[in-house]
Amino acid sequence: MRLLLISNSTNPGEAYLDYPKEHIRDFLGIKTKNALFIPYAAVTFSYDEYEEKVNSRFAEIGHHVTSIHRFINPVEAIENADAIVVGGGNTWQLVKTLQEKGLMKVIRKRVRKGLPYIGWSAGSNIACPTLRTTNDMPIVEPKKFKTLKLVPFQINPHYLDDHPANHGGETREMRIREFIEINRDIFVVGLREGTMLLLEKNELSLIGSRNARIFKYGQDPRELSSEDDFSFLLSEPFNL
């Protein structure tokens, strides 16, 4: 499989998709002509607007996407795509829509056979076995929490270390510790903003200047950098 799983679309003070655009270009290469965009995580803006927003950045790197909502037969669109690009937004809405349209299995099948997959935020979250490490509010109720299961670990996009002043609630780390207390056999990757995971040739690596924080029940959290090999995460069973 070939996956590029991006924590966030926009860093503070930067344009949309600016920091990952060169990595997206390199990942897609020059042969990708028919990249299919999945905009279903959008809630407060239209699919047309989302497609235009992504294309405004992709044009800078010599690529173009066509949103799946433009096709009468979305399954056929996936079957004919050269790459799948899944945008961020609300993970619950994204999962519910993919389930209702019967698209989870066809995306999984094609990507497992080598179709390049790019996702950011919610789009990276659904590459995991479930959506249960999303940060998003469950504004809708999908049929089930299971997602694409392209990797056997969970990602927490936008991972934050901060505990804001005057905030008495749980930190992100505390929430993840709750998850691994119940799900003891699975790793969670706290993917900080400005970073992404790249899977190619059965090797998993981190791209970006910030570390990723790795959680597993019974182990102290680990800080790993782009110099480290993340491929050990691929050996875990799909047990959710």
Q: Which residues are catalytic?
A: 121, 136, 158
Query: What DSSP letter does each residue of 79-103 carry, written as one string?
Result: HT-SEEEE--S-HHHHHHHHHHTT-
What whole-number distance in Å separates Cα of residue 117 and Cα of residue 97?
18
Nearest to 198 by CA among 146, 127, 104, 133: 127
Max CA pair span of the chain: 51
CB 107 within 8 A of CB 98: yes
* Summary count for the chain: helices (H), strands (E): 7, 11
A 10 A CB-CB count for 179 gives: 17
